[in-house]
């Protein structure tokens, strides 16, 4: 059984996230579109931007770093209308509770997205 870092990578790969070269918006009505932004060769931002009280908000918005050679991925940050969390709070400092929480959230969110049809080549 793969660990959560491998599981996240496999889901991102299955969805086709790694095929995005710059920026893409995937629409699967009636669901909120998924925005994918390739920030660097190994970092992606994933977000959904619902309109709440007349204002578009990133909820959720996550940055994810991938290591293609190891086939793993980990969340770096999370943001929603309630606030934000970072895994790496300073150089060399890791907030393990945040990393664990965000890994569980990201793994479940990717499951939900796939169940909603957010798979590029389906």
Length of the chain: 122
Domain locations in the chain?
Answer: 4-115
Please give the mean pLDDT across all residues of the chain.
92
The pLDDT of residue 28 is above 80: yes
Closest CA to 77 of 68, 92, 89, 93: 89
Instruction: Give per-residue pLDDT as tens, 31-68.
Output: 999 999 999 999 999 999 877 777 777 779 999 999 99
Instruction: Give per-residue pLDDT as tens, 60-91.
Output: 999 999 999 999 999 999 998 888 999 999 99
For residue 49, the model assigns a pLDDT of 85
Between β-strands 34-40 and 55-56, what pairing exists: parallel, antiparallel or unpaired? Answer: unpaired
**Bigger pLDDT: 54 vs 121:** 54
Return the percentage of the chain with pLDDT > 90, whole number. Answer: 83
């Amino acid at each position: 059984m793969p660990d959560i870092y491998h599981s996240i990578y496999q889901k991102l790969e299955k969805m086709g996230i790694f095929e995005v070269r710059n920026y893409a918006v995937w629409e699967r009505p009636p669901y909120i579109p998924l925005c994918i932004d390739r920030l660097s060769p190994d970092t992606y931002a994933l977000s959904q931007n619902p309109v709440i009280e007349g204002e578009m908000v990133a909820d959720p918005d996550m940055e994810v770093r991938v290591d293609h050679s190891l086939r793993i991925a980990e969340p770096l940050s999370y943001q929603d209308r309630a606030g934000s969390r970072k895994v790496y709070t300073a150089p060399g400092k890791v907030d393990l509770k945040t990393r664990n929480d965000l890994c569980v959230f990201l793994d479940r969110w990717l499951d939900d997205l796939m169940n909603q049809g957010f798979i590029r080549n389906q």
